[in-house]
Structure formats: structure tokens, C-alpha cells
Amino acid sequence: MSDTLLAPKPSTSKFTPKQVAVFYFKSLLTEDGDPTSLQACKACGKTRKHMPKTGYTNLVSHVRSDHLNFEAEMEAASTAATGTLLPWVRQKASNRYAWLLWIVKGNLPFSFVEMATTRRYTNLPPACMELLGCDMENVTKAVEKNIGAMLPDKFGAILDDWTHGTEHYMAVYACFELNGVRHCPLLSLAPIINGPDDRLNAESQVAALAAFLPFFW
């Protein structure tokens, strides 16, 4: 028989085994408050053996068999408690988010993450600028997709132009109503004069609009 047929199906769970175990189980203590080798399920009270550094298979198997809606329950609980799914985000993703937030809020170059001084004075794990650049591009695409899903077939455009030094920038906001509420998401913020033959006129603005609007559909 082919080894492929015997290979276990890869897990598609939204949460790691550790996250599931921590959410559903608590340690049972002796009368003196000392830990035992037993863990009690917070949802049903059943106990399972668990020794440190032995993995979470025994605990997770109970959750999967006895609490079929565990993922929905975990999502609902974390959202109700904190308003965010951040407690269940993998640590690697959380670290990437922290680096991106630092760079964007501080208006810093991507090379900032590789500076020796930065790494000396931060507790964040090291990151490379190429990887964060890919993350930023993926975030941009996700935001464009979400905004595109909101945009109606017809909407207004608010243009905000200004010059800084030798660069002329144009910000473009979409303007529309959704369920009686006005929305004005930022669609683009970029220079509109990029070549020696470009001019600061209506044609340049129309060309700029035509260049980025397809990203939202």
C-alpha cells in the first residue's frame, strides 16, 4: 500500500495544541496546593493525564472528541473577553505585527530592523527587512481586498494634493454611503509625477487614478 495513503491528514486547526490545552484544561492540585499529573477539563470536568514536556496530544484528543465546536467557542470567548483574537495569534505572527507597527508608526525604513543598535535594545526576535517587506505587501493586498469588497459600483472621489520639497503627492479617498453611514477610506497616497515627461495637470491625476483603482477589484 502506498505510504501516501497511510500519511496522516495535516491539521487545519486555527489554534495550536498548546492554545487548545490552555483554554480547556486546568491543573488539579493536591490539598497542599501541589500540582498532580492530572488536568481537568473546564467545560465538562473530565480528567486527563498530562506530564510536563510530553506534548498535548492526550488533552487535545479529548477536546476534539467531546467538544466538536471548540474552535468557535475559543474564538467567541477571546473576542468577548478582549475584542480581538490576538491571544490566539501565533507568536511568530504577533512578533511580525510588532515590527511592522513599530516601522509604520515611527516612519522608519525597513533597514531599521537589522541595525545592531535596534537589536540591542529590543526584546523582539530578530527580523530581516526582506521578510518584513513581503509581510507589508501581503497586508496591503489584504486591506485592498477588504476595501474593494465595501466599494459600491459608483462612488465619489476626494482628491487632496500637496507638494513637499520637489515631490507632488496626491491622496485619494473614496466617498460613499453604506447602510446610511458615510465612509471615506483612503485608497492611495503617492507621488503623481514619476517621469520627466509628466506634468502637474488633470491628465496626470486621471492617469494616477487609473493606475491604482484596479487593485480594488
Do residues 35 and 108 touch, judged by C-beta distance below 8 A? no
- Residue 116: enclosing H or E segment and its boundaries? helix 116-120
State the first-to-last Cα distance of the chain, in angstroms, to the nearest integer: 47
State the cell numbers at 161: 494634493
Q: Using alpha carbons only, what angle is made at residue 93 by residues 17 and 97, rounded to the nearest 5 degrees?
A: 150
The model carries a pTM of 0.54
Enumerate the H helices of 107-187 as residue ranges.
116-120, 129-150
Cβ proximity of 144 and 216 under 8 Å: yes
| Mean pLDDT, the chain, whole residue set | 84
CB distance 194 to 188 below 8 Å: no
Residues whose CB falls within 8 Å of the CB of residue 124, separated by 6 or more in sequence, listed in order:
95, 98, 99
Q: Is 126 helix (H, G, I), strand (E, B) or coil?
A: coil
pLDDT band at 209 (very low <50, low <70, confident <90, very high): confident
For the cut 90, the answer to whether the pLDDT of residue 88 exceeds it is: no
Q: What Rg value do the Cα atoms of the chain yield, rounded?
A: 26
Indicate the pLDDT class of residue 1, thresholds 50, 70 and 90. Answer: very low
Domain ranges of the chain: 17-82, 91-148, 152-216
